Structures are given as structure tokens and as C-alpha cells.
Amino acid sequence: MSILNNSVRLTGFLGSAPEIKVTENQKKFAKINLATNNYRRNDNGERIVDTTWHHIVLWEKQADLAEKYMYKGSKVALEGRLSNRYYTDADGIKRYTSVIIVNEVDILTKKEQN
């Protein structure tokens, strides 16, 4: 079962267009925010939607795909690994964040050709 270490699978919708960047070493990456929804009923029987936002990073060829085919509202399925990072914000406060580094992506909503 060691192959299941640090594995994340998500299907959700992009909250905005991919943010494309290039590192100092000329490696392209895309940052996206992915929303996943969980549904439940409250005590009155009303349907409640709980949305969770995930920070996602795609590298090189996957970043090219994100740039070309993904847009706000795109539905994607992805598999990757969880990476936890610390950083210091503009106010000097140490922050902690979790990012999913993508290994595989399937774009379920294609960008319409103009």
C-alpha cells in the first residue's frame, strides 16, 4: 500500500482563469483555485452545500494545457500530491498553506473554439 502515500484526487470547478507564471529557470507553471462541493441536509431537511477551495499547481505541459483549455468555471478532475509550505506575508506574519501538485489532469469542460 505504499503507492497510496500522499495521494489526492479531486473533481471540481475553477474559481478563476489559470494564473500562468514562469520561474527564473524558465519553467512554466499554472496556479488555479479549485472548488469542490459536499452536499448534506440540515435538521429541517434543507439541502446545504459546503464548498472547499483548493490551491493547485500544474507544471510545464500541464500548465500549457491549463493556459490553452481551462477557464473560470471549467470542470476538471485531477490527481496529485499534497505539499505544505510556510511563507511570511507582507505584514511579516508567518503563514502556512497546503498546495496540491498535479501529476495527472483531465479537463472535463473544453474551452469553446471561437
114: in domain = no
Total residue length of the chain? 114
- Residue 100: all three cell numbers together: 496540491
CATH number of the domain where residue 61 is located? 2.40.50.140
Specify the pTM: 0.83
Q: In terms of residue numbers, what domain contains 81?
A: 2-107
Q: Alpha-carbon distance 20 to 4, whole Å?
A: 29
Whether 112 is in a domain gets the answer: no
Rounded to an integer, what distance in angstroms lies between the CA atom of residue 82 and that of residue 102?
Answer: 9
pLDDT digits (tens, 9 = 90+) for 35-68: 999 999 999 999 999 999 999 999 999 999 999 9
Residue 96 lies in a domain: yes
pLDDT tens digits, 62-89: 999 999 999 999 999 999 999 998 989 9
SS3 call for 66: helix
Q: Do 13 and 35 contact (CB within 8 A), yes or no?
A: yes
Count of structural domains within the chain = 1
